[in-house]
Structure 1
């Protein structure tokens, strides 16, 4: 989806059955983990049409991997034997994604050297990569910037160490796992962020032969091995997509059955939504959500099992259709409220006070407008509000949404949504 494309949304009631795609936040990490081995890695339930996944596959191919996608939901990654060592410098001129930091970790772990473009992704407040650098240095690497590249080397290989994270960083935890798997000795990650996507990463690397032990939320212990094998692994379902459909059903007063609902990953946020008026019925492998009246919500984001920061823009759309004041506090990325200005173009009144976003909902009453998707989840929030607004909503920079939602327009159309892509 190019940056010139727009999504047009008209008021709609969503009704029907929708199946979740594989999780973007898991799939990209698993792609990076394929760099740890020269053998074949096969992923099922793989969200092949995500824009970020497509970019990541291109990066792997530049680094000497063959990537074959079949049926839009599986991929086979294997090494290409060119009779020489694969490249360790990622020559890349397209839009960067933050996952390049994990690519660097994978290269450093297996080849003891690597260079990648400085990371991109969603511009959420003051996202930095100092913790990634700290992890690499703790494991014995030298790290430096060279123009627009981040470079690292450990000529004698990485050595296990105790890594104390000052905050529960998802990316730093993931990179420590990738590098610790092939480091000499034992690596202990203290204060890690143990969330579903990280457990999925650990599950696959264990299949590859890694020795990883998770001690609750306190510590992850990794006993390094000399090499890793290939593996076949099924990507977990996308919990962010699941919450998006829950909000969509409520906002449009619809009736949606969500197949493959990840109940265990979303207990806290679903408890908040139940208190805020969500009417849902759990089956063995699905959740039926029936739109009722949205009540104001008050949430704070935090490490798992708390509410993920990614969820808060979607929950803001819920607050837009509630009567009264909703409050959202994002402790991880306090600057992540830029989308509120876009929602104000649709008639929603909001206010940012310190780390808190206040949403003064009037039970809907939004009107269609020309708005811009500032990032992935902000774009999803605008789509949801457009479904419940009067008139037509035109969302520019719609490519942001395709970074993390596979076939979102087609899925909404199948549920009765008046949603189209415009070049």
Structure 2
């Protein structure tokens, strides 16, 4: 099992290039299976999730060839199976997005229930009810979802009850080759979804945002291969930005886009952190003591849930009391005990909320264990090096950041989870001056 050895206390300086978005990469690889001709996707981040999806595609008979300069070429011409092996359900949550693709190819599909990080449930009913509206029959049993569309998929109008990023993408994939138009209401607005829309349109689809949180898809007869460059990863950008601010450093985050990070940049400004938009990206730098600044996570264009843990760590180095309220997932503070062991002053609690079913994006009525949904942070505190273990991708990046800030040495175990979402994180941090070493 790999681990990081980190000696903290060094301000990070330099520039770092952001790779293609994880939350676009493997989904576009799957979308490419809708065409017989190959599609080439560039600016790929070679993380474990991408490797697993490559293996998944090949297990079904598809083509997924990794090339030079961070590219992958994908084709669905030779797909021969409508069933996804059990092992892939444990390795990636991408398996459920194969349902519409296999239904288009074979009019039936069998996929394992998806895995992913231990950060709370990802309600699948938002995907499945939408697929049923397009004419799909679905049954779940023994850890699998089985689906049939003997007459093909048919366009429809569907309204998501709550925001769903992956659900929106799944319905787009289902509607793109369906008979007739589909209108998705209350559709998610994340930039990664726009990446998928732009990719499919280059393949010959007819998809557009036609109103507030509305997407209209006019089904086409077939799609063709194309080439496409992935958008930069928003989460990587925020990871290196918080590393600059928390360590008192100065980092140019190359290719970072202001329009993708507006909610984060607004909070950096409120916290008295420094940033400058340049022709190369966004430079983040320390301007002096940080001010405690509260956030609520929410879907785009709100403050992204994946940034929450990084912000909590940053607030341990800020002056005053701040509150971070998690509204997207019901159980995403699993990393907090590790920060507390390092000396962070954090209290977990549940704020009073008048209408939880509306206020929270998760299904609050189905939460059984009653986990905490908010953290109160008192800063600044001097963190101390510690023995740490990773339990999900973003928490791993968070504990890495905490170790970089802390006095003394930290050992971070189970870093394979970090590698699901970051390519060469330790190597890139080392180039910025971090004292970090990976060992097996």
Structure 1 residue runs of 4 or more that deviate by more than 4 Å after TM superposition: none
User: Equivalents in 2 of 1:411, 1:217: separation in Å?
Assistant: 39
Q: Corresponding residue for 1:316?
A: 312
Q: Deviations over 1:112-148 (max 9, x none)?
A: 2111111000122232211111111111111112322
Question: 2:64 & 2:213 partners in 1: Cα distance?
Answer: 36
Partner SS state of residue 197, structure 2: helix
Distance 2:103 2:378 in 1: 49
The CA distance in 1 between the partners of 2:379 and 2:170, in whole Å, is 44
CA contact (8 A) 1:37 1:110 kept: no
TM-score (norm 1): 0.95
Residue 186 of structure 2, aligned match among 191, 198, 202: 191
CA distance, structure 2, for counterparts of residue 144 and residue 421 of structure 1: 44
- Asked whether the equivalents of residues 10 and 419 of structure 1 are also in contact (C-alpha less than 8 Å), the reply is yes
> 1:92, CA displacement in angstroms?
4.0
For 1:216-235, list aligned pairs within 5 A: 216-235=211-230
> What is the distance in 2 between the residues matched to 1:313 and 1:105?
33
Aligned to 1:340: 336
Which residue number in structure 2 is paired with residue 362 of structure 1? 379
Deviation at 1:393, TM superposition (A): 1.4
Task: Give 1:72 shift.
Answer: 5.5
Report the alpha carbon displacement of residue 196 of structure 1 after superposing the two structures with TM: 0.3
Q: Equivalent residue for 1:304?
A: 300
In structure 1, the partner of 2:36 is 38
Out of 402, 408, 415, the position equivalent to 2:432 is 415
Q: Once the 2 structures are TM-superposed, how far is the Cα of residue 399 of structure 1 from its aligned partner?
A: 1.1
- Tell me if structure 2 keeps the 8 A contact 1:41–1:230: yes
Scaled by the length of structure 2, what TM-score is found? 0.91
Q: Determine whether 1:261 maps to 2:256.
A: yes
> Residue 368 of structure 2 corresponds to which residue in structure 1?
none
Q: Is the 8 A contact 2:239 2:310 kept in 1?
A: yes
Give the match's secondary structure for 1:54: helix
**How has the CA–CA distance of structure 1 residues 217 and 408 changed in structure 2, closer, same or farther, with 3 Å as cutoff?**
farther
- Structure 1 residues 384 and 38: CA distance shift in structure 2, 3 A: same
Give the Cα separation in 2 of the matches to 1:283 and 1:211.
34
Give the one of 65, 83, 88 matched to 2:82: 88
Aligned-residue Cα RMSD (Å) equals 1.5
What is the alpha-carbon distance in structure 2 between the residues aligned to residue 168 and residue 182 of structure 1?
23
Deviation at 1:80, TM superposition (A): 5.8
- SS at structure 2 position matched to 1:89: coil
Please tell me whether residue 169 in structure 1 is matched to residue 167 in structure 2.
no
The 3 A distance-change label for structure 1 pair 216 and 195 is farther
Secondary structure in structure 2 of the residue aligned to 1:313: helix
Three-state SS of the structure 2 residue aligned to 1:93 is helix
Instruction: Determine the structure 2 residue equivalent to 1:26.
Output: 24
Cα distance in structure 2, aligned partners of 1:193 and 1:149: 26
Deviation sequence 1:280-324 (CA, Å, 0-9, x none): 122123212112322212111112111111111111111111122
Equivalent-residue separation in structure 2 for 1:287 and 1:213 (angstroms): 29
Question: Within 2, Cα distance between the matches of 1:318 and 1:359?
Answer: 13
Name whichever of 210-219 and 397-406 sits farther off. 210-219
Are 1:160 and 2:181 matched, yes or no?
no
User: Which of 45, 55, 62 in structure 2 is aligned with 1:65?
Assistant: 62
Cα shift at 1:359: 3.7
CA distance in 1, matches of 2:121, 2:71: 35
Structure 2's unaligned 5+ residue stretches are 352-372
Residue ranges of structure 1 left out of the alignment (5+ in a row): none
